Amino acid sequence: MTDSARWKATVYVGGLASLATTTNLHDAFIPFGEIADISLPKNDAPNATDPHRGFAYVEYEDPEDAKEAIDNMDQSEFFGRVLKVSPAKPPKSADEGLGSKTAVWEQEGWLAKHAVSEEDRLAASSTEKATPDDRPDDPMQGLEGLDVAGPKPE
């Protein structure tokens, strides 16, 4: 299965109680289809007392099973907590976004989003070639004699 197909068949389960285990999750989500994998990320903080971070990923064999699980398990109660079940978002690539080693404007996603059309380039170049008659009057004109700030002395 390709990565994009795997993420379409994976659901995010948030709001888990600290008592929840992979076995409990498997038992709760198996009625909706064949489960390929369950990931319950551990808390890496040195002083953490919780066994996991409060969320999990449940990967199904079929994307339709994942949709069924979302429809049935979202806002349901599990170990006294209300679950938030939604489609899992694929992780951001190390080559994309602000954390990458490549300049933002050199990335494909940024370029596609911010590309300037030829029509916009022509409009910008025509405004740069404006004659002095087209420009508004100088806002500083007529202020040559003022050398002191504030009201005029009487």
3-state SS assignment for residue 143: coil
pLDDT tens digits, one per residue of 40-63: 988 877 777 778 889 999 999 999
Separation of first and last alpha carbons in the chain:
87
pLDDT digits (tens, 9 = 90+) for 73-115: 999 999 999 999 999 988 766 556 566 677 776 776 776 777 7
At residue 127, φ and ψ (nearest 5 deg) are -75, -30
pLDDT of residue 152 exceeding 90, the answer is no
In the chain, the percentage of residues whose pLDDT exceeds 70 is: 78
pTM score, whole prediction: 0.59
Q: What is the pLDDT of residue 37?
A: 93
Chain CA centroid to CA 14, Å:
17
Q: Identify the band that residue 124 occupies on the pLDDT scale cut at 50, 70 and 90.
A: confident
69 burial (CB, 10 Å; 0-12 / 13-18 / 19+) is buried
Angle at 28 between CA 77 and CA 4, to 5 degrees: 105
18-47: average pLDDT: 90
**For the CA atoms of 88, 48, 36, 96, what is the dihedral angle to 10 degrees?**
40
SS3 141: coil
Amino acid 94: pLDDT: 57
Question: Residue 113 has what pLDDT?
Answer: 74
Strand blocks (E) in 17-146: 35-39, 55-60, 77-78, 81-82, 84-87
